[in-house]
């Protein structure tokens, strides 16, 4: 049987029409199903738990490692050369300002002082002699001057009297200068004698001793003998390096608490006393010092500690539970419930505190955010807020 071209065309047209109809029907069914699913999802109201967004306190607690140092520390060197005759203190001894730490003996210094005192006596006698000669020259001139003026004595006699008076005046000036120089030299020697008594410059504890009885010490300006280290620990300086994100609000007078791992339960309160007013370029940290009263000596210089500083906030912050955070391809968001409808809002996280998160933008105090939101939660979904349960009273 031979197929005509007209019949073949009719057959192909019928097949094409049938295919188009089937495709249109499938597309209609799929669209209808999608609309039905969307309507079903929109019609379904899920129950969610919410938490309120609350404002953070005006202060933020910053906990940082710290190091304790003595309020004052002095390396005590020998100021007089000689031998140690007495040593009155040792490592760990507490001393008061002015207490005698050690005594240095130098017999040759005593001899120098005796010689300088004898020389001073000689120079003072020479000064008295020069002053007596000056007085004699003045009396002579006062007596001869009228006679020379009236012609009873020659002018040469008057010239000699004047020059003699001037010479004696110059001799007195030289004698006085010699006495002053010798007195200054004697004062230097006596000061060196005073340095033989090594005394404490302030109240403190001897933390290092490098000499003993009989030790030879030198008072050389470059290589002076290192004798003691004295530290004042009634007040402890605590050095803290505050990172840049918290350094903006650090200023003298804010509160701080120091704790030491080896002293559980002890909290040492103080205030920030001084700051460097400049960040260190290498670490971007600000050096702050906290002064801690230490009357019983519990805190020791050089101890590793933790400092908790209450830094005033430069910018207000809000707190949300960590479980409310949504992180997807759209960034960091939270779902806020308003009139039974969920709205997604982008937020800016400032600091993660563990169970809470500090945020700066996207929400306001009093907003209700959904806790542990569903993965398929969408903008505009209707939700039912579950009643809040009151924790049982102990």
Question: According to CATH, what is the number of the domain 317-385?
Answer: 2.40.420.20
Rounded to an integer, what distance in angstroms lies between the CA atom of residue 344 and that of residue 356?
19
Rounded to an integer, what distance in angstroms lies between the CA atom of residue 251 and that of residue 290?
11
Look-up: residue for tokens 């608490």? 257
Q: How far is CA 348 from CA 97, 128, 296, 327, 394, in A?
A: 57, 92, 48, 12, 38
Question: According to CATH, what is the number of the domain 107-195?
Answer: 1.10.287
How does pLDDT run across 183-217, given as a tens digit for each residue? Answer: 999 999 999 899 999 999 999 999 999 999 999 99
Q: Options 1.10.10.10, 1.10.10.60, 1.20.1050.10, 2.40.30.170; which CATH number does 65-70+232-312 get? A: 2.40.30.170
The domain ranges of the chain are 65-70+232-312, 107-195, 317-385
SS (H, E, C) 10-38: HHHHHHHHHHHHHHHHHHHHHHHHHHHHH
**Torsion over CA of 14, 16, 20 and 23, rounded to 10 degrees?**
110
Q: What integer pLDDT is reported at residue 150 of this predicted model? A: 78
Lowest mean pLDDT among 1-5, 213-217, 252-256, 289-293: 1-5
| In the predicted structure, residue 128 carries a pLDDT above the cut 70 | yes
Size of the chain in residues: 394
- For residue 249, the SS3 value is coil
Rounded to an integer, what distance in angstroms lies between the CA atom of residue 380 and that of residue 342?
5
How does pLDDT run across 95-108, given as a tens digit for each residue? Answer: 999 999 999 999 88
Q: What is the mean pLDDT of residues 105-132?
A: 92
Q: What integer pLDDT is reported at residue 379 of this predicted model? A: 87
How does pLDDT run across 367-378, given as a tens digit for each residue? Answer: 999 999 888 888
Residue 222 is given by DSSP the state T
Beta carbons of 334 and 320 less than 8 angstroms apart: yes
pLDDT band at 1 (very low <50, low <70, confident <90, very high): very low
How does pLDDT run across 47-63, given as a tens digit for each residue? Answer: 889 999 888 877 888 89
Look-up: residue for tokens 């003691």? 228
pLDDT band at 132 (very low <50, low <70, confident <90, very high): very high
Look-up: residue for tokens 């130098």? 106
Going by C-alpha positions, the residue among 113, 93, 115, 116 that lies closest to residue 196 is 113
Rounded to an integer, what distance in angstroms lies between the CA atom of residue 44 and that of residue 38?
10
| In the predicted structure, residue 391 carries a pLDDT above the cut 50 | no
Residue 181 backbone class (left: φ over 0; alpha: ψ -120 to 50; beta: rest): alpha
Residue 4 is given by DSSP the state P
Q: What integer pLDDT is reported at residue 393 of this predicted model? A: 43
Rounded to an integer, what distance in angstroms lies between the CA atom of residue 56 and that of residue 321?
12
């Amino acid at each position: 049987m031979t197929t005509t071209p007209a019949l073949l065309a009719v057959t192909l047209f019928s097949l094409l029409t049938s295919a188009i109809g089937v495709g249109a029907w499938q597309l209609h069914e799929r669209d209808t199903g999608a609309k039905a699913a969307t309507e079903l999802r929109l019609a379904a109201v899920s129950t969610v738990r919410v938490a309120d967004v609350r404002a953070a306190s005006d202060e933020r607690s910053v906990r940082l490692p710290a190091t304790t140092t003595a309020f004052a520390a002095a390396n005590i060197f020998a100021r007089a050369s000689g031998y140690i005759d007495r040593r009155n203190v040792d490592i760990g001894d507490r001393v008061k300002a002015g207490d005698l730490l050690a005594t240095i003996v130098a017999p040759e210094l005593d001899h120098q002082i005796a010689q300088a005192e004898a020389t001073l006596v000689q120079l003072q006698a020479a000064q008295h002699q020069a002053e007596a000669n000056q007085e004699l020259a003045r009396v002579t001139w006062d007596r001869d001057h009228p006679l020379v003026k009236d012609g009873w004595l020659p002018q040469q006699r008057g010239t000699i009297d004047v020059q003699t008076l001037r010479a004696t005046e110059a001799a007195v000036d030289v004698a006085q200068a010699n006495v002053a120089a010798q007195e200054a030299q004697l004062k230097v020697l006596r000061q060196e004698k005073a340095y033989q008594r090594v005394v404490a410059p302030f109240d403190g504890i001897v933390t290092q001793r490098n000499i003993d009885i009989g030790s030879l010490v030198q008072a050389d300006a470059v290589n002076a003998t290192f004798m003691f280290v004295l530290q004042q620990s009634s007040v402890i300086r605590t050095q803290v390096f505050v990172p840049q994100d918290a350094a903006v609000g650090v200023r003298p007078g804010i509160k701080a608490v120091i704790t030491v791992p080896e002293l559980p339960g002890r909290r040492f309160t103080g205030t920030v006393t001084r700051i460097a007013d400049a960040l260190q370029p290498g670490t971007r940290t600000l050096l702050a010092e906290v002064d801690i009263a230490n009357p019983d000596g519990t805190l020791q210089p050089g101890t590793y500690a933790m400092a908790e500083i209450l830094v005033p906030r430069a910018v207000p912050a809000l707190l949300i539970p960590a479980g409310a955070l949504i992180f997807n391809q759209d960034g960091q968001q939270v779902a806020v419930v308003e009139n039974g409808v969920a709205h997604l809002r982008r937020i800016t996280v400032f600091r993660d505190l563990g169970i809470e998160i500090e945020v700066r933008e996207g929400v306001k105090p009093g907003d209700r955010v959904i806790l542990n939101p569903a993965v398929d939660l969408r903008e505009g979904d209707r939700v039912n807020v579950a009643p809040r349960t009151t924790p049982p009273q102990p």
